[in-house]
Structure 1
Amino acid sequence: MVNTSLQQLPHPSFCQHMPALDWLDLEGNQIQTLNYSILKTCSKLEVLLLMDNRIRRVPENTFQSLWKLAELNLSTNRIRELSKNTFKSLSKSLLKLNISYNPSLHIHPSHFSHLTHLQSLALEGIEIEDIQTKMFLPMKNLSHIYFKKFQYCSYAPHVRSCKPNTDGISSFENLLANIVLRVSVWVMAFITCFGNLFVIGMRSLIRAENNLHAACIKVLCFADCLMGVYLFFVGVFDVKFRGQYNRNALLWMESIECRTIGFLAMLSSEVSVLLLTYLTLEKFLVIVFPFSNLRPSKLQTGVVLASIWMLGFIIAAVPLMNENVFGNYYGRNGVCFPLHSDRQEKPTAKGYSTGIFLGLNLVAFLVIVFSYSSMFYSIYKTGINATDLRSRLHRDVAVANRFFFIVFSDALCWIPIFLVKVLSLLEVEIPGTISSWVVIFILPINSALNPILYTLTTSFFREQVEVLLCRWQRRHILKKDSKSLTSSTVFMEASRAACYQPPAYLQRVSLISADPRYA
């Protein structure tokens, strides 16, 4: 009786006329109610299929007489509530239960406590707001379970097969779902850590024209280096849980380790954003208002840097202070970063992350874009009256390229994050692969590129590196050719001339090179 527009079950005596009936398929009808009196004579039923109907209510004693029932399908109906003992009478016989796609159905922790023989449970399309591990523990024989979200799989670690088996970031077997993510997390961790440590080391060895600016850059690199540490630990725990992630997923996401690396990632991200905004505004004042004498003193710079770190620490630490208010803020996914919002997230946590990503970070990004646009316009306007047109064009192109890549790297990092956050707030389904790319590839982009953009591409830094290389080369030649004083002297004079010959771009004078910090 499939797709017959049947509005109610047949007369209670219909099973009496078919005493051997063991399979009843009523899919695709318009049945609205179920009750014991209709099914009480169908004691031989082994399969009952009632999917795609309009059933709203299932009384507690509905299946009381179906002591042989092995498969029950109530999917795609309008059931809102089930009694705790609805399936109690089926405890010894039921092997397969499907109540999927009853979107308003509230699942109680004790709904399945009697189904000790159940082998397959389908709960697709249902939000389980108060999901708990104890919901599924009584079902010792359960081998297949189907959820709406991959995150629910962690609450049934003893089940052999769980669908969906990935959220794009993690999979049933591994913390990082695929080989691309597993390799990339180590590559990004190495690039971020090595690049920033290299700049810190070189900035410490090379004499700085402006010590305050050099200190700011070293602090920025240290903050960015924390992002590399975060990625490194994600890679370490991925190796630790390789092949058995789902058994440890819940413990991992609720662990101190997960919260700690999530804290480090948030601290790195926010301190980096605030520092970049401060450096941009400092540069903006020097270039757009060159005669205003608004450059900060040593004390002011120290206070600003300390304040930025304190603010970043507070932003990252606040969600850890009250779990009742914020829930497991950092443990929403396997990589412990609170980017994606969902219905299970507490309202306070959702509002807090929205304020950080779409409030503070968005404002900082807009300030950076506006400031660099104003700086380039000011430089271009200043150079209009330059007599050497060729020199001016060369300089403007170089400045424009550098400013473009600084703004482009910020946009490449933050625009996808803004979009993902907005879509998650609008409850738009976001493919898990997008979230994984954002966390592993896009989020660390600024941390990896900042050493290049703010140090390695500056003319002053390149000049100082050339000087260091020349000194090392002369010392090496002196040791090698110490037997011939005359030849060594000749070579030293030639080397000195070659090493200290000012590059062509240093011979040009412009507003942008007036302060060596911004060369």
Structure 2
Amino acid sequence: MAIISLCCADCLMGVYLFFIGAFDIKYCGEYNRHAQLWMESLQCQLIGCLAMLSTEVSVMLLTYMTLEKYLCIVFPFHNYRAGRKQTLCYLIFIWVLGFIIAVIPLWDKQTFGNYYGRNGVCFPLHSDEMEKPGARCYSTGIFLGLNLFAFIMIVFSYTSMFYSVQKTAKTARQSVYNKEVSIAKRFFFIVFTDAMCWTPIFILKILSLLRVEIAGTIVLWVVIFILPINSALNPILYTITASSFQDKLKLCLKAKCKQAELRETSQKVSEAYQNPSAPP
């Protein structure tokens, strides 16, 4: 259930990129004439809200899954296993919280101003002198507060997990323990890709708050190419590394090999009937 939710959050990033690409084609060659109108438009606000929803839900889902694996690995005898209803409640809470975070800047224009329309890609990453104090504090709290805290928590949890793996002796529940370890390793690669993507975003946000001059094109490249990398890689990582997918892939390969052998045998038989004088 958590993986399906993460897949949906990643899919929202794909929808965001699709609309950015569509409007890029629409304004191609004459963007400067429509830039201000585009950044103040309802379309820009909505797709910016969609991108924020995708990133925040993805971060919180990864944090939740990491903490769940942390409890299973570090405390193997605690018998903690989230049930279906409990997991569903957590996932609903994460989605509702992500929706609230994304929509709040649209409610109060006096406090946030044109929160999502600070640049052409409608994502509030860069802070400048024209940005309202409320919007600056909010974006700082999200990117350097919530997201950085989640990132530190994930790093700490995985460090503790793999330390526990090295130190834990074999127990009677070794099969269950090995299953949890394999799942933890699987999610480690997902978290690692997120860390590689979020580190430059943290640095860029800190530099913008310190009033370091940053070229606008750098922000656009980060938002369009670096931020969505984890959304693109997550489905690949948690699909290919899943044991069920690997088992089905092996079965498909074996079935294709058998079909190829049957075709070859039937072809030889048909050739033998057509040429009865030919040697077998």
Q: TM-score, normalised by structure 2?
A: 0.84
Match of 2:62 among 272, 276, 296: 276
**1:340, CA displacement in angstroms?**
0.3
Corresponding residue for residue 423 of structure 1: 207
Corresponding residue for residue 11 of structure 2: 225
**1:242, CA displacement in angstroms?**
0.8
Q: Distance in 2 between matches of 1:401 and 1:301?
A: 21
Q: Distance in 2 between matches of 1:458 and 1:334?
A: 38
| Bigger strand fraction | 1
* 1:317 maps to amino acid: V
Corresponding residue for residue 29 of structure 2: 243
Q: Distance in 1 between matches of 2:187 and 2:159?
A: 8
Larger radius of gyration: 1
Q: Is the 8 A contact 2:53 2:101 kept in 1?
A: yes
Q: Distance in 2 between matches of 1:374 and 1:322?
A: 42
| Bigger helix fraction | 2
Corresponding residue for residue 376 of structure 1: 162
1:379–1:458 distance in 2 versus 1, CA, 3 Å: farther
Match of 2:98 among 281, 291, 312: 312
**1:265, CA displacement in angstroms?**
0.5
Q: Distance in 2 between matches of 1:458 and 1:227?
A: 23
Q: Distance in 2 between matches of 1:346 and 1:236?
A: 29
* 2:109 maps to amino acid: E
**1:292, CA displacement in angstroms?**
0.8
Q: Distance in 1 between matches of 2:26 and 2:20?
A: 10
TM-superposition CA deviations, 1:191-230 (whole Å, max 9, x none): xxxxxxxxxxxxxxxxxxxxxxxx2111101110111111
**1:480, CA displacement in angstroms?**
5.7
Match of 1:326 among 94, 106, 112: 112
Q: How does 1:96-135 map to 2 (within 5 A)?
A: none
Q: Is the 8 A contact 1:372 1:403 kept in 2?
A: no
Corresponding residue for residue 357 of structure 1: 143
Q: Distance in 2 between matches of 1:403 and 1:325?
A: 39
Q: Distance in 2 between matches of 1:417 and 1:459?
A: 33
Q: Distance in 2 between matches of 1:424 and 1:458?
A: 40
Q: Secondary structure at the match of 1:237?
A: helix
Match of 1:257 among 25, 38, 43: 43
Q: Distance in 1 between matches of 2:215 and 2:41?
A: 26
Corresponding residue for residue 216 of structure 1: 2
Q: Distance in 1 between matches of 2:25 and 2:77?
A: 56
**1:260, CA displacement in angstroms?**
1.0
Match of 1:439 among 218, 223, 226: 223
Q: Distance in 1 between matches of 2:88 and 2:187?
A: 26
Unaligned runs of 5+ in 1: 1-214, 387-397, 485-519
Q: Distance in 2 between matches of 1:320 and 1:235?
A: 23
Q: Is the 8 A contact 1:339 1:421 kept in 2?
A: yes
Q: Is the 8 A contact 1:263 1:317 kept in 2?
A: yes
* 2:124 maps to amino acid: P
* 1:244 maps to amino acid: E
Q: Distance in 2 between matches of 1:246 and 1:227?
A: 25
Q: TM-score, normalised by structure 1?
A: 0.46
TM-superposition CA deviations, 1:248-291 (whole Å, max 9, x none): 11111111111111011000000000000011111111111112
TM-superposition CA deviations, 1:377-428 (whole Å, max 9, x none): 1112236x79xxxxxxxxxxx9998576444312211111111111111111
Q: How does 1:166-181 map to 2 (within 5 A)?
A: none
1:243–1:431 distance in 2 versus 1, CA, 3 Å: same
Larger RCO (CA under 8 A, 6+ residues apart): 2
* 2:224 maps to amino acid: I
TM-superposition CA deviations, 1:62-95 (whole Å, max 9, x none): xxxxxxxxxxxxxxxxxxxxxxxxxxxxxxxxxx
Q: Distance in 2 between matches of 1:399 and 1:223?
A: 20
